[in-house]
Structure 1
């Protein structure tokens, strides 16, 4: 494979979220208990009640936002939007050179784990006793490195689902790649940041078409409901939006749902976006540009900002390996004498559905966020009673390459798993008492 295939999966807004019968889906800000019944009585179908009823997702006639807002207890109603994920072709050529047989035989290709000292961190924590929800395209339920997936807790929140029979299984490949970065067990090919965590597949995408914001929010709310220590959403709108954007009308409800999940103890890791854009000041993306999200920019094998990554001190909380170098030209160099990690090995290697090749390379802030979700699981293992804010602070204090929390590219810095867990473990290695 040549060119940019496999680089920086992007999302596209495809319009208002509509049901198969032509009705429109709305995201509603509400004043809690009883409002859902009132909206139902007004002739709308309430699909989701989120954040203790403070946010509703309902379906009804088009151009009916004003009718919903006339219902007592409704603060705002706006048409939902559909977000279509553009998944580039996965690069599998280097992974194919060493067919997996026994025990993480592809781990030498995981530069992302090497430079963040993940393997050394496993002497202290592996994510045992924790749970991470992957709000995405689902997870391959038959992958040899993903035997830690809890299929029973897996859910699909998909309006007009075209593949309901697969449940939380992967409708693409994005979610399986993200899941492997978080928690691949190393049974066969690759190792995740938290190989002993429990992975929960929360599918919000159909096989064809897009996810609605309402279903993404339902997935986040569900993650908190089942006690997930972290919920990763490597999803977001394209481009850097300005305050006058129609999307600005959804920010309050996104923040309400995310804040509710954080209060219940779930760290929400989100990708900063792949537009090489500044989020400084009034620019924003969704869902990650809300205070409750732990927003992650993407870095290269050289610890530089990846060429596609968004940046900005107002949004970026932390940075993590996402693949590619600081320029596209350098990323695509195939000469091993010219760069330490020639293309495609400078992308992130992880799991993909077995029927697609089992292992492959992708790059993007989508690949950076799950590095942090896995690290959150390591922290929660060592501090089971830590709240979400405490976990974020510990991760930021263990980061490298920035001063404090104000770097426009890296936030508090690039994650370092060993620094982070050593601060908590008191020098005692996992299982050996020393």
Structure 2
């Protein structure tokens, strides 16, 4: 395989995936879409009686996603039971543009063909952790672009529970199937079965595809929140949200105006037992500031920074004291030069395999020459490592609430003193440490 420096630099700006705010949301009929904060059981009916349509009723009725005429926020706020109404926001995925030039009783990892490429599972001792737990009896929702329903390593996808929440769906016929590639890669990191090539952190979990993106264009925040709410509704043990919004959204910005509603939906999901794992974002920047960042500013989200094969902070990963909860492998090294092999150590993993290799839609080209698998780096790849670990913890502690699951993961982490590391939060996840601690506590070791 021959990947040149030119190729890498071309793609460096779009590493992994970050959600970019592209404007306000509108429905297919041309109506504007709003996020409404409701304060009363009759608010939904009152909104409908006023001539608006309600697409989603979230967080047990306290947040509504509403469509109607443009510039109607004031009209909505005049309705009894509505305390706030703001235009919804559309986000698009920044696609990585790496135009590479390519020349029994067994544990799940024993027979999979390509586990030697899974440095991310090796550095976090995932394969050894499978002696204690594999995610059996758990469920993880992938709130993303969908999941390839025909991938041989994703036979644990529950298509019947899969949903598509897409305002302007240009491919409604595919349902929860993948409209791109991102969700399939994330799903494999969480729970690929190892039937053929790769093993996820929780290979026996049930994967639920929740598609919130069309094939072209952006997702509305209302649909993303609907996906999170649905994950809690179906009892998902974790919901992965690999859609970090770049930069600090200052007071008065479109997203900042939705802060209270985002928090309400996330907190409702966590109260119902769903751990929400979110990516810290790929801007190489500090998250400290007076504004709002997503998911980092939402206490209910478990925010994940990205680390390298050398357990250093990946050069693109955001950071920030009190904003990062935990760290996990996301790929690439702490500098572009080391990532590319210009500097580094003799045993460094070469580019692009120092990204995270995972499942890939079978009908798309693989840039690493393995059909059905490809390598991407980003905090998007770090968050699902934690979602899979949450499934292992829930298998061992089925009655644990979301907070206790997060605490167990943090206690098993390595490389940080306490929970205040600006780069790693409580540390870099270690699956074996985490499940061994629980097995010892429960008398199963």
- Answer yes or no: same fold by TM over 0.5: yes
Contact 2:280 2:295 in 1 (8 A): no
So what's the TM-score if we normalise by structure 1? Answer: 0.94
How many residues of Structure 1 are paired with residues of Structure 2 in the alignment?
A: 425
What is the correspondence of 1:128-277 to structure 2 with a 5 Å cutoff?
128-277=136-285
Asked if 1 retains the 8 angstrom alpha-carbon contact of 2:309 and 2:354, the reply is yes
Give me the whole-angstrom Cα distance separating, in 2, the residues matched to 1:112 and 1:140: 22
**Contact 1:130-1:380 within 8 A present in 2 as well:** yes
Cα deviation for residue 103 of structure 1 reads 3.3
Contact 2:305–2:317 (Cα < 8 Å) also in 1:
yes
Matches within 5 A, 1:79-94: 79-89=87-97
* TM, length-normalised to structure 2: 0.92
CA distance in 1, matches of 2:64, 2:389: 32
Partner of 2:432: 418
Distance 1:142 1:162 in 2: 21
For 1:375, the equivalent position in structure 2 comes to 389
Q: Is 1:406 equivalent to 2:420 in the alignment?
A: yes
Partner SS state of residue 52, structure 1: helix
**What SS does structure 2 have at the residue aligned with 1:135?**
strand
**C-alpha displacement of 1:106:** 0.8
Match of 2:248, SS state, is coil
Which consecutive unaligned segments of at least 5 residues does structure 2 have?
104-109, 365-370
- Using the TM superposition, give the Cα deviation of residue 394 of structure 1 relative to its aligned residue in structure 2, in angstroms: 0.4
CA distance in 1, matches of 2:322, 2:287: 7
Matches for 1:2-401 after TM superposition, within 5 Å: 2-4=7-9, 5=11, 7-89=15-97, 103-333=111-341, 338=346, 340-356=348-364, 357-401=371-415
Two-structure CA RMSD over aligned residues (Å):
2.0
Distance 1:91 1:113 in 2: 26
**How far does residue 338 in structure 1 lie from its aligned partner after superposition?**
4.5
Q: Return the alpha-carbon distance in structure 2 between the equivalents of residues 109 and 209 of structure 1.
A: 33
Aligned partners of 2:407 and 2:425: how far apart in 1? 12
The runs of at least 4 consecutive aligned structure 1 residues that moved more than 4 Å come to 89-94, 334-339
Cα deviation, residue 56, structure 1: 0.3
- Shift in Å, 1:160: 1.1
**Quick one: distance in 2 between partners of 1:155 and 1:333?**
42
Checking the alignment, whether the CA contact within 8 Å between 1:133 and 1:230 is kept in structure 2 is yes
- Aligned-partner Cα distance in 1 for 2:321–2:374: 32
User: Secondary structure, in 3 states, of the residue corresponding to 1:305?
Assistant: coil
1:320-357 CA distance string (max 9 Å, x none): 00001111221122799745111011100000101113
Partners of 2:195 and 2:376 lie apart in 1 by 21
What residue is the counterpart of 1:99 in the other structure?
none
Task: Specify every segment of 5 or more residues in structure 1 that has no aligned partner in the other structure, as ranges.
Answer: 97-101
Contact 1:92 1:361 in 2 (8 A): no
Alignment CA distance shift 1:406-1:418 (3 Å): same
User: Bigger CA drift: 287-296 or 178-187?
Assistant: 287-296
The answer to whether the 8 A contact 2:357-2:373 is kept is yes
Q: Would the alpha carbon gap of residues 284 and 333 (structure 1) be closer, same or farther in structure 2, given more than 3 Å must change? A: farther
Kindly state the Cα deviation for residue 119 of structure 1 after the two structures are TM-superposed.
Answer: 0.4
8 Å CA contact 2:153–2:188 kept in 1: the answer is yes
Change (3 A) 1:79 1:24: same
Which SS does the other structure have where 2:255 is aligned? Answer: helix
Q: Give, in whole Å, the separation in 2 of the partners of 1:295 and 1:304.
A: 17
